[in-house]
Amino acid sequence: MSADDAPTKTISDYEASLARADAAVASFEKDDNGFIPRLRGFLRDYPTTIPALVLLLSIIAFSIVAPRFLGLGALSTILKQVTVTGFVAMAQTLIILTAGIDLSVGAILVLSSLIMGNLAVGLGLPVGIAIIAGIFAGGVMGLINGLLVTKMRLPPFIVTLGTLSIFEAVKLWYSQSESIRNVDIEAQAPFLLWFGQGFNFGGASISFGGITLIILAAILWYVLNQTAWGRHVHAIGDDPDAAMLSGIAVNRVLTSVYAVAGVICGFAAWVAIGRVGSISPIAFSDVNLASITAVVIGGTSLFGGRGSIVGSVLGAMIVGVFITGLSLAGVDDYWQKFAAGCLVIIAVALDQWLRRATQ
């Protein structure tokens, strides 16, 4: 029989063949019933758990090594010491949640404080106007970072590294490398020092700056977890392309994140004046790295999409507890820095381990 004489299969023949075919679908089972996978999933869903436990255990450990460490006085002193770092860490958290980073937060803080001091002390303007101008300047500097990242599509690391140098130069030019003394601030603008004041409660000295830190952390927690803007921030950090396809205005949200971070740094400048008592163009030179350290130790992923404002504040407290505890135990300064470096490496390694929970 020739090929032309062979019977031709109809569509019904193919349908009949499909009906007899195996309809089973390939499946790949994932073992999530073990203790380790469940623990990893829990810690990923609740990133504040680890820093809270580390803070509690470190307080207990150092109270055993140095009994005077366990007291409201010592703990309230630590809160005072990390107040400025805590504010900057909250600003840094917003940016790192979007998978970015801001190396200019310290320069924004110092330049904002110089603007407040020069307007209130140097020019004699009302202190309220000086404070508003300083906070506004912080927001403008943050907005510049955001526009450079979104409009020019430059990496956040490169953008903020460049603006760090620019803002550093501007603050030295604006201040003429001169500090504003505490005596001048007290005489002409004492309200700039308000956040350094406080009250005693049960043997603890609580500053208004520390209370404001807790209040702002609660506000930002609510914004990030209960508002559309906060959900958009997490979505952009997790997957910006998917966020754009879902209708989120990625560039607008990113720009607003950098602007809000700048405003927080501007507000932190007012807190810093009260904490230190004076204004110097070379102050807080290490707050950039300190804020990133606090954010990483606090459980926020450097890859974006996962983190907590409360965790960053706890991270700042952890660093303060370690530095103070080791100091009370008589440990040298270089070993204190060594311990802080180890905490960062451990935190990043833990973050990598937790990321595998979704892979």
CATH number of the structural domain spanning residue 320: 1.10.3470
- Quick: pLDDT tens for 201-246: 777 788 899 999 999 999 999 999 999 999 999 999 988 989 899 8
Confidence (pLDDT) at 89: 95
Pairing of strands 198-201, 204-207: antiparallel
Helices (H), the chain: 11-20, 35-45, 49-65, 72-81, 83-97, 105-117, 127-151, 156-175, 182-188, 208-226, 228-238, 240-245, 250-276, 287-297, 309-328, 333-355
Instruction: Flag whether 244 is in a domain.
Output: yes
**How many domains does one find in the chain?**
1
Confidence (pLDDT) at 20: 62
Instruction: Flag whether 86 is in a domain.
Output: yes
Confidence (pLDDT) at 24: 56
Task: Supply the pTM of this predicted model.
Answer: 0.84
Confidence (pLDDT) at 38: 74
List the one residue out of 249, 257, 252, 237 whose CA is nearest residue 151.
252
Please check the confidence at residue 308 and state whether its pLDDT lies above 60.
yes
pLDDT confidence of 336, banded at 50, 70, 90?
confident
Summarize the confidence of residues 75-98 as an average pLDDT.
Answer: 91
Confidence (pLDDT) at 318: 87
Instruction: Flag whether 120 is in a domain.
Output: yes
Range of the domain at 84: 47-352
pLDDT confidence of 84, banded at 50, 70, 90?
very high
- Quick: pLDDT tens for 128-148: 999 999 999 999 999 999 999
Question: Does residue 328 or residue 102 have the better pLDDT?
Answer: 102
Instruction: Flag whether 34 is in a domain.
Output: no
d(CA 111, CA 88): 14
Instruction: Flag whether 227 is in a domain.
Output: yes
Confidence (pLDDT) at 58: 84
Summarize the confidence of residues 294-308 as an average pLDDT.
Answer: 86
Instruction: Flag whether 82 is in a domain.
Output: yes
Instruction: Flag whether 203 is in a domain.
Output: yes
- Quick: pLDDT tens for 182-194: 999 998 999 999 9
Confidence (pLDDT) at 28: 47
Confidence (pLDDT) at 327: 81
Instruction: Flag whether 14 is in a domain.
Output: no
Confidence (pLDDT) at 129: 96
